[in-house]
Amino acid sequence: MQAEFEAAVEDGKPFVFATGCLIAAWRQMVKHGEGRLVLANYALALGLLLPMAVFQFGQAIGFPSFPGGGPPYGMLAAGAEPNPYLAWSQNSAVPVLMVLWLMLGMAHLALAWVLVEGDWLRVVKFGALIGATTVTLFLFTGILALDLSPLISQVTELGIELAAILTAARWHARLFSNASSELLTC
């Protein structure tokens, strides 16, 4: 391959040669289990985890295009009169709600990163962080008598996300079950 590259450099076409090698590698990648797993992990990270992170950040800063307008702006119960006794506590909770949404967004970004790296121990840790933060956000929002509808859809999406990650983890375990324990600890 080195000799072919040197010949391509002499012909003035090293980029064409490198592009051809890249295309050949991609074609071979889908023929092997490890390659399909890598592609599936990237698809999961780019197609599900990163959009969820964007959704979380949008909720934190209150984009009006998101359902409910983002907390705390649109989370007051729809059709209900604002309770003057809860107004102070709801307004005081704005920073905490924003921090929780931002933490969910950052955890989704980190989860996408460690999933692509294949660091399954950290995947479990970030999954647990996302679950705990979601439950905290759900309870905190319920206690403040705010609208829970944005969170209900998020819990459904979180279930789908964690099921997909569990499937990828099982695929990884099945694929590398024949590997020696030395390779798995590296």
Per-residue pLDDT, 104: 92
Nearest alpha carbon to residue 97 among 77, 73, 72: 72
Could you state, in order of their start, the residue ranges of all structural domains in the chain? 1-31, 33-185
103: pLDDT strictly greater than 90 = yes
Verdict on whether the full-model pTM lies above 0.75 = no
Per-residue pLDDT, 179: 53
Least confident piece of the model among 29-33, 44-48, 73-77, 97-101:
73-77
**Mean pLDDT, residues 90-100 taken together:** 79
Q: pLDDT per residue over 12-64, tens digit each? A: 878 888 888 878 777 777 777 777 788 888 889 999 899 988 888 887 777 55
Q: pLDDT per residue over 150-179, tens digit each? A: 777 778 888 888 898 888 888 888 887 765
Burial 31-69 (b: 16+ CB within 10 A, else e): eeeeeebeeebeebbeebbbebbebbbbbbebeeebebb
